[in-house]
Amino acid sequence: MNHPKNLAFKNYLSLVKFSHTIFALPFALIGYFYAIYHTDFTFTPKLFALILLCMVFARNAAMSFNRVTDRFIDKRNPRTANREIPSGKIHPRNAFIFSMLNALLFVVTTFFINKLVFYLSPLALLVVLGYSYTKRYTMFCHFILGLGLSLAPIGAYLSVTGSWALIPIIFSIIVLLWVSGFDILYSIQDEEFDKEESLKSIPAILGWRRARIISGILHGGVIALTLKVGYLIDTGLYYWIAAAIFIALLVMQHLVVKKNSEKRINFAFATLNGLASLLYAIFTVLSFYI
């Protein structure tokens, strides 16, 4: 029999979809290890742990805040009605407190990294928390989500070096286009609901066929930049293995997705994108050292 505290812990992990951390976290690792590869900085467990904590705190803050702001919408949507807040597993007030606590911990953690990331931390929070309202006003909401996750590689690089560089910015643009593209595909399943609720997703505004085309164009940009960055960093075979896997899984999700198949969309969204991010990061980091 599960203890109430264990159930509460599991509910909060589910609330923030902790398993989906795998989308952005591998790119933060790319940014971190590229900074070490590209500069004279060395690996330090303390800084590595602080970067990981920033990732966790920022994402917890963003996801729980999103669930609070969307609780009434989620309750009306059959697909999301069983989420933790609409189903009553977590009270909205507690989820909001959890979000603000994680936001505060994020800012405090950046203070122990360097001044630049500390000064930029409110801006990062503005992006990741502000996303929750964008679907009500603009179909560019998918790009705001992508922007939020794209902060991972450049943020990790800045945490190590305290300065800007081209390659981590390109990695961030890859994340921006990649996430925006797969979020558009994911939103196809809510096309009719979003129309009824006057929500501004691209599928709701332009239709699912055009949404798929836009997603394909964005992911075409991802492929081009993935190849471009390979030429720029010139780290050899392991990077090209990383690029080949990432591109293959990217193409596969477009072949898998069907408008009326929630199972296929979830497989493309969670499984294929999770594998793509993880394997791309593993082989890219290996390319810095082998």
Cα 65 versus chain centre, distance:
15
Q: Residue 4's pLDDT band (boundaries 50, 70, 90)?
A: low
Mean pLDDT of 196-210: 96
pLDDT bracket for residue 224 (50, 70, 90): very high
N- to C-terminal Cα distance for the chain? 48
pLDDT level of residue 259 (50, 70, 90 thresholds): confident
Q: What is the mean pLDDT of residues 257-266?
A: 81
- pLDDT confidence tier of residue 60, bands split at 50, 70 and 90: very high
Amino acid sitting at position 260: N
- The pLDDT of residue 268 is 86
Domain boundaries, given as residue ranges, for the chain: 4-289
Q: What is the mean pLDDT of residues 25-50?
A: 96
Mean pLDDT to the nearest integer, 166-190: 97
Mean pLDDT of 105-132: 98
Percentage of the residues of the chain whose pLDDT score is greater than 70: 97
Label residue 285 by pLDDT band (50, 70, 90): very high
One DSSP character per residue, 43-61 reads --HHHHHHHHHHHHHHHHH
The answer to whether 62 and 128 have CB atoms below 8 angstroms apart is: yes
**What fold is seen in the domain 4-289?**
Tetracycline Repressor; domain 2 (1.10.357)
pLDDT, one tens digit per residue, over 61-91 is: 999 999 999 999 999 999 999 999 999 999 9
Handedness of CA 117, 119, 125, 131 (dihedral sign): negative
99 pLDDT above the threshold of 90: yes
- Quick one: average pLDDT of 228-233? 97
- Do the Cβ atoms of 219 and 254 come closer than 8 Å? yes
- pLDDT (tens digit per residue) in 14-25: 888 866 778 899
